[in-house]
Amino acid sequence: MLISKSNYVSYHQCPKQFYLEKHNKDVSLFSMSLKRRIRMGNDVGLLAKSMFSGIKEVDYGESKAMSKKTKSLIDLKVPYISEAAFYINDLFCAVDILQVQDQGLIIYEVKSSSKIKKDYYKDLAFQTHVIQAAGYKVLDAFVIYVNKNYVREDQIDLNSFFIIESVLDQLDNHLLHVKKDVDKMRAMDEEPEFSPVSHCSNCSFNHYCYQDMPKDSIFNLYGFRASKAYHDGMRNFQDLLDNQVSLTIKQKRQIDHFYLDQAMYIDHLSLFDFLNQMIYPLYFLDFETLDFVIPNFKGSKVNQRLPYQASIHYLNQNHSQLIHEDILVLPDQDPRERMIDFLIKNLGVKGHIMVYNQSFEKSIIKDLANQYPQYKKALLDINQRIIDLYDVFKEGMVYMKEFEGSFSIKSVYPALCQSDSYEKLDQVHHGVEAMEGLERLSHLQGEEQGKLIKDLKAYCRLDTLSMVQIYVKLLELING
């Protein structure tokens, strides 16, 4: 069995993941966000390679052919080789960037992350093992990763954008295990039992492993760290009760509603206080954003979420006027100044601004304020007026069985307002589809682009309209 460096890392993240990659790859499902991360990783890889002058790439192909080509480039003393491949004993690795020196080889592993993760040691230990087995000396091993504090100037300054750090000293212990690990991987002859790990949320087999979880699975309990309980043999809510596991009030409420079919829970006093603080007119605000590891505009940061789309609903005191405004900026343009202008024009200077999960909106506005000092005061004043509608549900003021432990607007709105409006949307139904749609806009033209813009706007509009309707519903609950 051929084992690659990604197989080796995969095995350490989860043995079942490795087994499925080798024996049942068809059941993998790369979510849109996973695919996007892979695309951004490839962009970072290309940028890193541009730092090494005279670099030659080994074309992707059959393992033996790639390693043969690599050997010839090493023999020719080409200073830097990308995708330098080594194949021996049915082990294979393609090094992102290999530096060739008279005394031996230096490995560079490129990552789009902004910190060194434990997986990287496994990755580099495996590469070192294979290269040594192929008869070369490894002089050093570096991780090239992204400086999270980097702010773009006119051009990307590669020396400031990347951090290059030697990890050779940390590999010794990992190197000792490679051979034994590989033997264990080769000896796996049946699919391991499901055993949840922290990597599950980033795994392309997540859908496969979690598809048959019942509604009362411990994985569906709000804010509950299910892995430990799962490893202790518990599977559903009843198991938690039987084992007298310590639960929060909100978790107990979710379980009671599930088993006892209870009516909607309302903490009247807290809900009254929440609603009573509102200062009219009310605004309801939502952004759709794109983030890029490589900042694409002057003054923008690594991984900054840039607001390309916003929707605002305005509601007056006696609810006789509901006005909608929106903006959408194409993804190849810098949206920041246009967004600032839109916010300042449409959010007035008085009245609360309702959002759903305020840390998201507030951080976007704060970044804009820091990057455009001339608007700083106006933007920070907007942040001061923000109220979080999510608090009503997160703080347990209202609960319905239909929420099923999730307080996202996509769970709360259909249940509370008896609406299937999200389902009726055409191309865009949730945030990840909105991101994907926004990115796709720059590749479309004419009617197709127009249709997608319409669908993106309809989605963002519904995000604020649903907040208005939730708010009105909450008032009804209190006022009877």
Residues in contact with ligand SF4 by CB under 6 A are: 14, 16-17, 20, 194, 196-197, 199-200, 203, 205-206, 209
Q: What is the DSSP letter of 24?
A: -
> Tokens 């669908």 identify what position?
455
Half-sphere exposure of 440 (CA within 13 A, CB side): 17
| Secondary structure class of 388 (helix, strand, coil) | strand
The letter for the amino acid at 459 is Y
Q: Least CB distance from residue 218 to ligand SF4, whole Å?
A: 15
Nearer Cβ to ligand SF4, position 203 or 387? Answer: 203
Query: Dihedral sign, CA of 469, 475, 477, 480?
Result: negative
Q: Least CB distance from residue 33 to ligand SF4, whole Å?
A: 15
Nearer Cβ to ligand SF4, position 205 or 403? Answer: 205
CA distance 72 to 105: 14
Q: How far is CA 143 from CA 6, 86, 136, 439, in A?
A: 16, 19, 20, 29
Q: Least CB distance from residue 248 to ligand SF4, whole Å?
A: 25
Instruction: Give Dmax (Cα) for the chain.
Output: 83
Q: Least CB distance from residue 213 to ligand SF4, whole Å?
A: 11
Is residue 422 within 8 Å of residue 429, measured between CB atoms? yes
Nearer Cβ to ligand SF4, position 75 or 189? Answer: 189
Nearer Cβ to ligand SF4, position 68 or 207? Answer: 207
Q: Residue 285's beta-bridge partner residues?
A: 312
Burial class (CB in 10 A: 0-12, 13-18, 19+), 242: exposed
The letter for the amino acid at 22 is K
Q: Least CB distance from residue 240 to ligand SF4, whole Å?
A: 21
Nearer Cβ to ligand SF4, position 210 or 297? Answer: 210
Q: Least CB distance from residue 429 to ligand SF4, whole Å?
A: 23
Nearer Cβ to ligand SF4, position 201 or 442? Answer: 201
Q: Least CB distance from residue 206 to ligand SF4, whole Å?
A: 4
Q: Least CB distance from residue 94 to ligand SF4, whole Å?
A: 24
The letter for the amino acid at 196 is P
Nearer Cβ to ligand SF4, position 209 or 470? Answer: 209
Q: Least CB distance from residue 198 to ligand SF4, whole Å?
A: 9
Between helix 446-479 and helix 409-417 the angle, nearest 10°, is 60
Nearer Cβ to ligand SF4, position 205 or 314? Answer: 205
Would you say how long the chain is, in residues? Answer: 480
Nearer Cβ to ligand SF4, position 31 or 421? Answer: 31
Cα–Cα–Cα angle for 206, 207, 209, nearest 5°?
A: 65
Q: In this structure, what token pair is assigned to residue 186?
A: 């080769």
CA distance 374 to 362: 18
DSSP characters over 219-259: GGSTT--HHHHHHTT--BHHHHHHTT----HHHHHHHHHHH
Nearer Cβ to ligand SF4, position 199 or 394? Answer: 199
Is residue 289 within 8 Å of residue 305, measured between CB atoms? yes
Q: In this structure, what token pair is assigned to residue 295?
A: 């900042």
Q: Least CB distance from residue 17 to ligand SF4, whole Å?
A: 4
Q: In this structure, what token pair is assigned to residue 154?
A: 């006119």
Q: Least CB distance from residue 167 to ligand SF4, whole Å?
A: 24
Nearer Cβ to ligand SF4, position 30 or 259? Answer: 30
| Secondary structure class of 405 (helix, strand, coil) | coil
Nearer Cβ to ligand SF4, position 12 or 461? Answer: 12
Q: How many CB atoms lie within 10 A of CB 98?
A: 28
Q: Least CB distance from residue 404 to ligand SF4, whole Å?
A: 20
The letter for the amino acid at 25 is K
Q: How many CB atoms lie within 10 A of CB 448?
A: 12
Q: Least CB distance from residue 317 to ligand SF4, whole Å?
A: 50
Nearer Cβ to ligand SF4, position 200 or 416? Answer: 200
Is residue 315 within 8 Å of residue 322, measured between CB atoms? yes
Is residue 157 within 8 Å of residue 176, measured between CB atoms? no
